[in-house]
Amino acid sequence: MSISDDLAILEQQEQILRFQSFNPETAWELGCYLRTLLMDCRAGGTIEIELADHLLFACATPTSNPGQADWIRRKRNVVHRFGRSSYAIGLILESNNETLQSRHCLNPRDYSAQGGGFPILIEGTGPVGSIVMSGLPQRDDHCLVVAALAKILDKDVPRLS
């Protein structure tokens, strides 16, 4: 698939994967399901879910590493800044042969446009938080987050191949 094909799918995912409401119970259900998916991959990873800068869920699987927390922080910063998935922002930049630093003067120590960050979107409101994971290759991080969101929301979404 081309970058433009991927971007069209990512935009559809962001339009479809919206909640009517989101609370700590929703974060717990979503986080536990994402952890199960990650464990099924037999991969070490870290997951964080926050709402309005309030951490609602955090976990690390047994073979995760401490550096993943910093990746999560940097991906979350991208989601907060742009209100889009970190993977979408990365692909937009790649398609324009740009970086976060060259295009937006953002320090790579604080921002990472790698896959795995997705906004918590409320229907009629917009982004109110984020779900971020780190541990797999960036496309796989993104796809696992989308799979968890689609399951919890009971939505059928187009998937990246």
Q: Domain residues of the chain, as ranges?
A: 3-153
Query: In this predicted structure, what is the pLDDT of residue 150?
Result: 98
Give the tokens for residue 128: 């109110």
Residue in 27, 33, 34 with CA at minimum distance from that of residue 52: 27
Query: In this predicted structure, what is the pLDDT of residue 2?
Result: 93
| Phi and psi torsions of 87, nearest 5° | -70, -40
Query: In this predicted structure, what is the pLDDT of residue 136?
Result: 97
Query: In this predicted structure, what is the pLDDT of residue 133?
Result: 98
Q: In what order do the strands lie in the sheet with 54-60?
A: 54-60, 46-51, 126-134, 117-122
To which CATH superfamily is domain 3-153 assigned? Haem-degrading domain (3.30.450.150)
Query: In this predicted structure, what is the pLDDT of residue 1?
Result: 77
Mean pLDDT per block of 10 residues along the chain (161 residues) reads 94 98 98 97 96 97 95 98 98 96 95 98 96 97 98 97 84
Query: In this predicted structure, what is the pLDDT of residue 5?
Result: 96
CA distance 135 to 34: 12
Query: In this predicted structure, what is the pLDDT of residue 119?
Result: 98
Query: In this predicted structure, what is the pLDDT of residue 86?
Result: 98
